[in-house]
């Protein structure tokens, strides 16, 4: 059976790229189709994969300006040729779900969210430092993207949402029900440390909707150590507001990230995420999480067992939750056991099961070949 994978763009490092890596390990012979790709990202997440890009790959300044090309991605994803494949699995948070497949090809979409900036533009843009002209033009552009996104929503035969919140959002936006399939945590990558250190940890892209500003402000007020790993457009502003107890380390290799996870007192997860793998990575390292009570964290954090919630989304509420986290005792064994239940093996088995269901419904003649290929 010929299987292909599709992805929005392979230009940055994050949770969606780790999911693509898990899908690639499940289907190592499947080529990957994407709009644009950075060789360094390919090497980090899908080393050895056959990667096909669109005409956008020839555009200048992709690494720095890939977000500015947003209106080009619909045409680019639709230009990719998926002829000859029996099964396409798209890994999408914006565009890949709209890839065009030929008649007879079954398309299963792993959806991280319907296009956030098109469907929730006000919330997405509220904390962006855009000028007045940009703020005037963008609603018209996002409306155009939303119409395209809705028009192409019926292309997948099956949606798998990466959390309960995302599955509900898919049905609300597209009117299509979705199965829930949590992303995999790379459990074996993490080892617990000894006694926790004195610092709390943030691991995140530094973008406005991640709400890292809440953590920076809370720990500055508390005069307590906070280590921030990650980079992004908000870093200069966050550094300006940070007090002397907050350190920014930028992007770090996995080995360093793992070391900081193992040595921290706990991990701060202040934004409303579609899913968010960070709480499970923290638990795999034997550390609790302080998380905003919303979104994917509701699927992954067990209050009092694997972490504590805070609400409302304010520095004051976050600071109180940090103090509560300090007062509690945490079982490393319980934390790791919880994370292990979200491991890659479970994810891959669930993918096989849901794909089998989709093939049985839409192309039953192909199911025996898939079962043999995937070793279900």
Q: Is the peptide bond before 93 cis (omega within 30 degrees of 0)?
A: no
Q: What percent of the chain has pLDDT over 70?
A: 94
**pLDDT for res 64:** 80
Q: Are residues 172 and 28 in the same domain?
A: yes
**pLDDT for res 255:** 94
Q: Are residues 310 and 220 in the same domain?
A: yes
Q: Are residues 117 and 220 in the same domain?
A: no
Convert the pLDDT of each residue in 208-260 to its tens digit. Answer: 989 999 999 999 999 999 999 999 999 999 999 999 999 999 999 999 999 99
Q: Are residues 331 and 350 in the same domain?
A: no
* Residue tagged 């550094």 (tokens): 239
Convert the pLDDT of each residue in 157-169 to its tens digit. Answer: 999 999 999 999 9
Q: Is the pLDDT of residue 120 over 80?
A: no
CA dihedral 108, 113, 114, 118 (to 10 degrees): -150
Among 75, 113, 147, CA closest to 272: 113
Q: Are residues 354 and 336 in the same domain?
A: no
The domain in which residue 178 lies consists of 3-184+343-374
Q: Are residues 237 and 298 in the same domain?
A: yes
Greatest CA separation found in the chain?
A: 64
The residues that bridge with 52 in the sheet, in sequence order, are 33
**pLDDT for res 133:** 47
Q: Are residues 62 and 150 in the same domain?
A: yes
Q: Are residues 265 and 324 in the same domain?
A: yes
Q: Are residues 116 and 201 in the same domain?
A: no
Total domain count for the chain?
Answer: 2
Q: What CATH number should be reported for the domain holding residue 287?
A: 3.40.50.2000
pLDDT band at 375 (very low <50, low <70, confident <90, very high): low
Q: Are residues 14 and 144 in the same domain?
A: yes
**pLDDT for res 20:** 97
Q: What is the reported pTM? A: 0.82
Q: What's the distance, Cα to Cα, between the start and end of the chain in Å?
A: 14
């Amino acid at each position: 059976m010929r299987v292909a994978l599709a992805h929005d763009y392979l230009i940055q490092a994050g949770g969606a790229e780790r999911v693509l890596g898990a899908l690639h390990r499940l289907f190592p012979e499947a080529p990957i189709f994407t709009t644009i790709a950075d060789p360094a990202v390919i090497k980090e997440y899908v080393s050895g994969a056959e990667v096909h890009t669109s005409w956008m790959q020839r555009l200048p300044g992709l690494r720095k300006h890939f977000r500015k090309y947003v209106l080009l991605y619909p045409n680019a994803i639709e230009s990719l040729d998926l002829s000859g494949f029996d099964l396409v699995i798209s890994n999408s948070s914006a565009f890949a779900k709209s890839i065009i497949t030929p008649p007879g090809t079954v398309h299963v979409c792993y959806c991280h969210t319907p296009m956030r900036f098109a469907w929730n533009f006000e919330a997405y843009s509220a904390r962006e430092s855009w000028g007045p002209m940009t703020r005037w033009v963008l609603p018209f552009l996002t409306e155009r993207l939303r119409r395209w996104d809705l028009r192409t929503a019926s292309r997948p035969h099956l949606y798998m949402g990466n959390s309960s919140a995302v599955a509900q959002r898919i049905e609300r936006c597209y009117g299509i029900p979705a199965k829930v399939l949590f992303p995999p945590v790379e459990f074996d990558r993490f080892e617990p440390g000894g006694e926790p250190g004195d610092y709390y940890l943030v691991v995140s892209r530094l973008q406005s909707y991640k709400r890292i500003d809440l953590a920076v402000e809370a720990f500055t007020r508390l005069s307590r150590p906070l280590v921030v790993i990650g980079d992004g457009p908000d870093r200069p502003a966050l550094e300006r507001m940070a007090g002397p107890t907050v350190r920014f380390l930028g992007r770090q290799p996995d080995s360093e990230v793992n070391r900081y996870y193992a040595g921290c007192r706990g991990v701060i997860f202040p934004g409303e995420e579609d899913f968010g793998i960070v709480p499970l990575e923290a638990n795999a390292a034997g550390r609790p999480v302080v998380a905003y009570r919303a979104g994917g964290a509701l699927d992954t954090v067990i209050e009092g067992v694997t972490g504590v919630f805070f609400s409302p989304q304010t520095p004051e509420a976050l600071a109180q939750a940090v103090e509560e986290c300090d007062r509690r005792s945490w079982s490393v064994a319980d934390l790791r056991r919880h994370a292990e239940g979200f491991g890659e093996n479970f994810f891959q088995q669930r993918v096989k099961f849901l794909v089998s269901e989709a093939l049985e419904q839409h192309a039953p003649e192909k199911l025996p070949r898939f079962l043999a290929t995937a070793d279900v």
